[in-house]
Amino acid sequence: MTPTRKLLQCVLAWAVSGLLASVLAAFVPAQKGWLTLSFWAAGAALLAVCLADAWRGWRAPALRAERQAPGVWPVGVWHSAAITLRNGGTRAVHVELFDDYPAGWELEGMPYAATIEAGASVTITYRLRPQRRGDTHFGQPHVRVATPFGLLLRSHRIGPRQDVKVFPDFSRMLGQTLMATDRRAPAAGAIRRRRRGEGTDFRQLREYRQGDSLRAIDWKATARQRKPISREYQEERDQQVVFLLDCGRRMAAEDEGGTHFDHALQAVLTLGFVAQKQGDAVGLMSFGHDAPEGTSRWMSPHKGRAGFDRLLAGIYDLHPSDQAPDYLQAAGALMRKLNKRAFVVLITNLRDEDDLAMRSASELLGTRHMVLCASLREQALDAAVAAEVTDFAQALRQSAAVHYLQQRREAINRLGLRASNLVDVAPARLPGALLNRYLEIKESGQL
Q: Is residue 124 domain-shared with residue 216, that is, in the same domain?
A: no
| pTM exceeds 0.75 for this model | no
Determine the average pLDDT of the residues in 3-20.
Answer: 86
The tens digit of pLDDT for each residue in 185-205 reads 444 443 444 444 444 566 678
C-alpha atoms less than 13 angstroms from C-alpha of 45 in its C-beta half-sphere = 8
Give me the DSSP letters along 185-242.
GGGTTSPPPP-TT-SSEEEEEEE--TT--GGGB-HHHHHHHTS-EEEEEE-----EEE
Same domain for 45 and 78, yes or no, is no
Helix, strand, or coil (residue 115)? strand
What CATH code is carried by the domain that includes residue 80? Answer: 2.60.40.10
CA dihedral 42, 43, 44, 46 (to 10 degrees): 90
pLDDT at 334: 92
Q: What is the pLDDT of residues 229-245, one digit of tens each?
A: 888 766 555 689 999 99
pLDDT score for 418: 73
> What's the rounded mean pLDDT across residues 116-126?
90
pLDDT tens for each residue of 246-303: 998 888 888 767 788 988 998 999 899 888 888 899 999 999 876 544 447 899 999 9
The DSSP code sequence of 258-306 is EEHHHHHHHHHHHHHHHHHHTT-EEEEEEESS-GGGT---EEEEE-HHH
Of 57, 82, 102, the position where a domain reaches its end is 57
What percent of the chain is predicted at pLDDT more than 70? 87
Higher pLDDT, 409 or 83: 83
Task: Quickly state the pLDDT bin for 175 (edges 50, 70, 90).
Answer: low
Write a three-state SS string for 321-335.
CCCCCCHHHHHHHHH
Residue 20 to residue 43: CA distance in whole angstroms: 14
pLDDT at position 294, please? 41
**What are 397-423's pLDDT values in tens digits?**
888 888 877 877 777 777 767 767 888
Phi and psi of 225, rounded to 5°?
A: -85, -15
**Residue 421, domain extent:** 170-192+237-444
Q: How many domains is the chain partitioned into structurally?
A: 4
DSSP reduced 3-state for 414: coil
Mark whether 33 and 128 lie in a shared domain: no
Are both 251 and 385 inside the same structural domain?
yes
Q: Report the percent of the chain where pLDDT is more than 90.
A: 21
Q: Length of the chain in residues, anyone?
A: 447
What value does the mean pLDDT of the chain take?
82
Q: Are 179 and 247 members of one domain?
A: yes
* CA distance linking residue 57 with residue 64, whole number of Å: 17
Specify the amino acid at residue 53.
D
- Spacing of C-alpha 308 from chain mean position: 16
* 128 and 188 fall within a common domain: no
| Whether residue 436 is found in the same domain as residue 301 | yes
**Measured between alpha carbons, how far is 150 from 148 in angstroms, rounded to an integer?**
5
Q: What's the pLDDT band for 439 if we cut at 50, 70, 90? A: confident
Greatest distance between any 2 Cα atoms in the chain: 138
Distance (Å, whole) CA 51 – CA 45: 10
Residue 377 one-letter amino acid:
R
Q: What is the mean pLDDT of residues 72-79?
A: 90
Report the C-alpha gap between 439 and 436 in whole angstroms: 5
Is residue 6 domain-shared with residue 112, that is, in the same domain? no
Name the band, by pLDDT with cuts 50, 70 and 90, for residue 138. Answer: very high
134: left (phi over 0), alpha (psi -120 to 50) or beta: left
**Do 372 and 404 have their domain in common?**
yes
The pLDDT value given to residue 29: 75
Verify that 118 and 184 share a domain, yes or no. Answer: no
Same domain? For 27 and 107 the reply is no
Residues 309 and 410 reside in one and the same domain: yes
Dihedral angle of Cα 244, 248, 252, 256, to the nearest 10 degrees: -30
* CATH code for position 322: 3.40.50.410
Measured CA to CA, the distance from residue 135 to residue 226 in angstroms comes to 66
Check residue 277 and give its pLDDT: 85
Q: For position 104, what pLDDT does the model report?
A: 87
What are the tens digits of pLDDT across the range 324-375? Answer: 888 889 999 999 998 888 999 999 988 767 667 888 888 899 898 999 999 8
Q: How many angstroms separate the CA atoms of 75 and 316, rounded? A: 10
Give pLDDT, residue 235.
Answer: 55
Whether the per-residue pLDDT at 67 is higher than 90: the answer is: yes
CB atoms within 10 A of CB 147: 22
